[in-house]
Amino acid sequence: MDVLELHPWRVSPKEAVEIQKILSKRIKFNNKFKGEIRTLAACDAWFNEDKIYAAVCIFSFPGNRLLEVVKKNIVCEFPYIPGLLAFREGPGLISCFKSIKIEPDLIIFDGQGIAHPRKMGLATHLGILLDRPTIGCAKNLLVGRYVLNLGKEKGSYRLLKNSRGEIVGAALRTREGIKPIFVSCGYKIYLSLALKIVLNLCDKYRLPEPLRIAHQEARRMN
């Protein structure tokens, strides 16, 4: 899979922020997205000492049939800094995408999209580099607020708004009575479609099933 080489990965945190500001000018949303989604990729990574273990899993859609798994482990050279996750996980995930045989129509990430201080969460950052529609599915809120009276039933959601009043995502209840997840557009997709897709992927668990499997695959590497 082709990857746009728009910046180096070996940078300082200050340089990383500047890169995000430059890349943010490339953000696109497709409010009339009508592309057929036949395959999707789910990504996850975890760390152990100085190594990052990354996994990209390709699934059929709908149906969630696992078609391909690519896993890589590389030395992690960027510290953990909130808001700069792409520079920590990105190199490992990009390495996986360069090796996949089935190119996905859509990619979901365990992380943020534009619900980010500079609108450059992991899903947005890598969506730009991979030039694919992407969705961020995060377990925790990074940016934005929502009305607290979120319904308890599956499918209930409340829009997330940043400090400027801009809509940057939604708090989404994927199981009745369970804490919501935070969905945000990454790149080349619109929010209502992102919410519909995420709900379609959530059956027995809080997180979409493809992300749960990607997490398991990454953990099996060590």
Q: Pairing between strand 106-109 and 167-172?
A: unpaired
Any idea what DSSP says for residue 181? E
The rounded percent of the chain whose pLDDT value lies above 90 is 72
Q: Which residue type occupies 74?
A: I
Relative orientation angle of helices 122-130 and 13-23, to the nearest 10 degrees: 60
Q: Is the pTM of this model over 0.85?
A: yes
Q: What CATH topology corresponds to 13-137+185-193+202-219?
A: archaeoglobus fulgidus dsm 4304 fold (3.30.2170)
Look up tokens 């430059």; give the residue.
22
Q: Looking at the predicted structure, is the pLDDT value of residue 83 above 80?
A: yes
23-42 mean pLDDT: 85
Q: In the chain, where are the structural domains located?
A: 13-137+185-193+202-219
